[in-house]
Amino acid sequence: MQVQRTVISQEQRLKMSPQMYQSIQLMALPIQDLRQKIAEEVEKNPALEEVDSLKPATLDEMPSKKSDDYDPFENSSDPGYQRVPNTGEDTKRKFLEGTIFRSESLQDHLLWQLHMTVLSEEENRIGELLISNLDGNGFHMDSPDTLVREGERSLLEKMIHLIQDFDPLGVCAADHRESLLIQAHLREDMPEEVDTVLTDLMELLEKEKYNEIIRQLKISRERWDEIMDFLKSLDPYPGSIYSQSSYNYVIPDLIVRKKEGEFVIVLNDEEIPVLRINSFFEDIQEGGGVEDKRVKQFVNGRVRDARWFIGSINQRNMTLLKTATAILEFQRDFFRRGPKYLNPLTLKDVAGEIGVHEATVSRITTNKYVQTEWGIYELKHFFTNSISGAGSGGSRFSKEGVKEVVREIIAESTDEKKLSDQKISEILSKKGINIARRTVAKYRKELALGSSFKR
């Protein structure tokens, strides 16, 4: 006969409040998606409204002549901002130059985060195997156990848990059920019944037999509505956002300018609507003659949500500026001299500089672009490991910087004197960059440059 007994156990779990979860979501959004999110929030929350008078004009609406002190990318909240005289035509040209397209796969996004994590060679290898084994939704195509030898199972479990914490949350799972559980357990506001719903009552949930779920859980309809609201905030197919085949056009989130010998970072907040609390709701909250408690509770809840949302957007913008400023400091050689002078840099370096977690740096740099003198770059581009060692702790030459040198060497070679990979390796050695011939071949392939025979 099986005997049931109460067991008390202690465990550590990372939890996120609803506000933190909202802040993380907003932090990961590029400008276009952020604008859509703002529109949805304004539509949903009557206490939140856009300041129409401060809405930016479109290019077609902009007058052809502007005063010398007009700057469409001015960020009054940036203490390092300096106004730069500009013409309307120059602004329009730079704006159009900034709308480049991007298309990043789920594997690209996960591999970048993996390579930015300090891991052993074996951990990297197993991590790459796991990521290459994911389908477009972020789920395992083959059983992970088939990817490794018997003695590597513990390392496999470690890498699965690591990748599940990558952005987007909930990938590297068996199916949508496990993905939902992973996401739910990271949330501080998870109703206690959710675990039972996702593990034991999932079939009823998928068949929309809500009354039966309520009966089995012995809860009220109101409690079930709260559970459903929580479940709807999860993404059952987290990798699907990267499987869209259409091209998306992006606008630079930041602009780096040089003014009187110093670099200035400008936040492109022209594309972000200005928000405020509706004055009518503020008056009611401050005691505007309304006695109905339900009305006051509704108003207080909507105003609180609006303030949280505005605060999350401000936090996103300030984190983006702080991150970009740290990148600028670490990569001054790039901004001064060009792409081949990119220095080794890791997420840990920037996270330590601005006092946030590495995951925050990963989210704020994903799908965020900066306009520089050398072109438009995703902020992730500035994170690159050294040719030997991990990140900034290894060689002073970064992989991306060396690839640019390889590109330059090949471009300067003539048809009569095509350079082999071995010869390129010897030229690099004279420049103080010691890499093997096979590494040159690897970088050349990544640059989509043919061998000396094909060139």
Residues 419-440: tens digit of each pLDDT:
777 878 777 777 767 777 777 7
- pLDDT tens digits along 318-341: 999 999 999 999 998 889 888 878
Looking at the chain, the whole-number percentage of residues with pLDDT higher than 70 is 76
Predicted confidence at residue 56, as pLDDT, reads 44
DSSP bridge pairs for 372: 375
Predicted confidence at residue 71, as pLDDT, reads 45
Q: Pick from 6-10, 13-17, 221-225, 386-390 the range whose average pLDDT is largest.
A: 221-225
Q: Is the CB of residue 399 less than 8 Å from the CB of residue 386?
A: yes
- pLDDT tens digits along 172-215: 998 888 999 999 998 888 999 999 999 999 888 888 889 999 99
Which residue has 């730069």 as its token pair?
84
Mean pLDDT of 232-259: 78
pLDDT band at 12 (very low <50, low <70, confident <90, very high): low
- pLDDT tens digits along 55-69: 444 434 444 434 444
pTM of the model: 0.52
Query: Which is more confidently placed, 369 or 68?
Result: 369
CA distance 299 to 3: 51
DSSP one-letter string for 293-353: HHHHHHHHHHHHHHHHHHHHHHHHHHHHHHHHHHHHHHTHHHHHH-GGGPPPB-HHHHHHH
Q: Is the CB of residue 440 less than 8 Å from the CB of residue 421?
A: yes
Predicted confidence at residue 14, as pLDDT, reads 53
pLDDT over 50 at 356, yes or no: yes
Mean pLDDT of 364-389: 82
Query: Which is more confidently placed, 343 or 7?
Result: 343
Predicted confidence at residue 244, as pLDDT, reads 55
Query: Which is more confidently placed, 78 or 31?
Result: 31
CA distance 87 to 65: 8
pLDDT band at 16 (very low <50, low <70, confident <90, very high): low
Least confident of 126-135, 177-186, 396-405: 396-405
Query: Which is more confidently placed, 245 or 22?
Result: 22
pLDDT band at 342 (very low <50, low <70, confident <90, very high): confident
pLDDT over 50 at 245, yes or no: no
CA distance 18 to 24: 10
Predicted confidence at residue 126, as pLDDT, reads 92
**What mean pLDDT, rounded, does the chain reach?**
78
Helix, coil or strand: residue 182: helix
Query: Which is more confidently placed, 244 or 427?
Result: 427
Predicted confidence at residue 360, as pLDDT, reads 87
Token code pair at residue 381: 């581009």
Predicted confidence at residue 326, as pLDDT, reads 93
pLDDT band at 98 (very low <50, low <70, confident <90, very high): very low
Predicted confidence at residue 73, as pLDDT, reads 40
Predicted confidence at residue 155, as pLDDT, reads 92
Nearest to 56 by CA among 44, 71, 68, 41: 71
Mean pLDDT of 408-418: 69
Looking at the chain, the whole-number percentage of residues with pLDDT higher than 90 is 23
pLDDT over 60 at 246, yes or no: no
